[in-house]
């Protein structure tokens, strides 16, 4: 009996290790700073991780099919630039400003999937190459400059502006809940239900778990792998839209630094709950862990340049835990 209790206790600690770490971190910062658990600070944390969470959901889909999308950061950057260009230069309304970046993201994801499936190329190499291509496209569009209200193009001041309905996405609130957080919550819950409760969602897991068996079972493996990268591109584009609406400018390469954050969050998600597989709820909690750590260390006046060290340690730890599961 005692041995069984010890075994089960050890299993709980190992399987839910990342979750215990999250609880310990929250407890530590709560005691260290009286304002840590305030509504305004928690709201800031959730708002800050909303963009990373959206990117990480896309990365999770690529991990589910046993791939990895390295182009999500560049797609988010391009989406930010395209949205800003629509508003400032083309003076478009909300619908076009939202649709065009999303179409770009899905098309780029589709191209990734086609090169991987039809060209029989490695996921990492294709998405790495696409990362550079997309980054070059956005630099070509902007000539290396950010897009902002009152900017000059060919010595002529553009008259477009960020319309209130667009800024509301990243800066507005509904019942004191940031709109960006609501978007993140809907995406997390929606994708979790899709992956765990539908036949289509479970097919992604079947293909990622054993590709050869999926082929032998007559499953449309290549089609679903393309779908996974298209979904990844969609979420990357959505993250770019939220980013543009939050900062109110089209910043060049704004999404690129978020690539490693999203990958880290996804791998922490794999380590959660002992599942040993990518899962959206775990990915969201991974993003929460990163956001809480960075917010807490900022409140404790830890130098900002130490944050990359923290992220690197988190990524290594998450990969080790994921491999152990």
- Report the domain count for the chain: 1
Residue 287 forms part of a structural domain = no
Residue 147 forms part of a structural domain = yes
pLDDT tops 90 at residue 141: no
Name residue, tokens 């988190």: 314
Residue 49 forms part of a structural domain = yes
Residue 78 forms part of a structural domain = yes
pLDDT at 216: 79
pLDDT tier at 239, thresholds 50, 70, 90 = very high
Q: What is the DSSP annotation of 112-163? A: HHHHHHTS---HHHHHHHHHHHHHHHHHHHHTT--B-TT-EETTEE------
pLDDT at 23: 80
Q: Looking at per-residue confidence, does 311 or 158 come out higher? A: 158
The backbone region for 169, taken as left when phi is positive above 0, alpha when psi lies in -120 to 50, beta otherwise, is: alpha
When pLDDT is averaged across residues 117-142 and rounded to a whole number, the result is: 92
Residue 17 forms part of a structural domain = no
Residue 57 forms part of a structural domain = yes
Range(s) of the domain holding residue 108: 39-254
For residue 228 the two structure tokens come to 């996974």
Q: Is the pTM of this model over 0.85?
A: yes
Residue 51 forms part of a structural domain = yes
Residue 264 forms part of a structural domain = no
Mean pLDDT of the chain: 86
- Residues 272-281 as b or e (16 or more Cβ within 10 Å = b): bbbeebbbbb
pLDDT tops 60 at residue 9: no
Q: What is the CATH number of the domain that holds 236?
A: 1.10.3470.10
pLDDT at 16: 60
Question: Angle at Cα 32 formed by Cα 28 and Cα 36, nearest 5°?
Answer: 85
Q: Looking at per-residue confidence, does 147 or 14 come out higher? A: 147
- What is the DSSP code (8-state) at residue 223? H
């Amino acid at each position: 009996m005692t041995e069984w209790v010890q075994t089960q206790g050890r299993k709980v600690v190992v399987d839910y290790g990342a979750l215990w770490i999250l609880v310990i971190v929250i407890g530590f910062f709560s005691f260290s700073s009286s304002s840590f658990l305030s509504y305004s600070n928690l709201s800031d944390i959730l708002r800050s991780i909303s963009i990373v969470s959206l990117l990480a959901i896309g990365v999770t889909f690529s991990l589910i099919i046993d791939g990895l999308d390295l182009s999500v950061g560049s797609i988010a950057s391009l989406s930010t630039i395209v949205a800003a260009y629509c508003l400032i230069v083309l003076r478009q309304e909300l619908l076009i400003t939202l649709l065009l970046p999303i179409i770009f993201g899905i098309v780029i994801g589709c191209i990734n999937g086609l090169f991987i499936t039809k060209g029989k190329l490695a996921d990492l190499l294709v998405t790495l190459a696409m990362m550079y291509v997309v980054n070059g496209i956005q630099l070509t569009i902007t000539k290396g400059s950010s897009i902002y209200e009152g900017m000059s193009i060919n010595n002529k001041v553009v008259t477009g502006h960020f319309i209130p309905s667009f800024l509301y996405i990243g800066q507005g609130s509904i019942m004191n809940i940031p709109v960006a957080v609501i978007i993140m919550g809907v995406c997390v819950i929606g994708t979790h239900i899709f992956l765990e409760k539908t036949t289509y969602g479970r097919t992604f897991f079947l293909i990622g778990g054993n590709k050869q068996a999926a082929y032998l079972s007559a499953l449309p493996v290549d089609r679903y792998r393309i779908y996974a990268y298209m979904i990844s591109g969609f979420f990357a584009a959505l993250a770019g839209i939220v980013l543009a609406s939050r900062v109110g400018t089209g910043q060049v390469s704004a999404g690129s630094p978020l690539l490693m954050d999203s990958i880290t969050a996804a791998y922490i998600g794999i380590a959660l709950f002992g599942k040993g597989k990518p899962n959206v709820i775990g990915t969201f909690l991974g993003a929460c862990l990163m956001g809480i750590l960075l917010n807490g260390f900022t409140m404790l006046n830890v130098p900002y340049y130490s944050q990359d060290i923290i992220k690197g340690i988190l990524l290594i730890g998450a990969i080790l835990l994921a491999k152990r599961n």
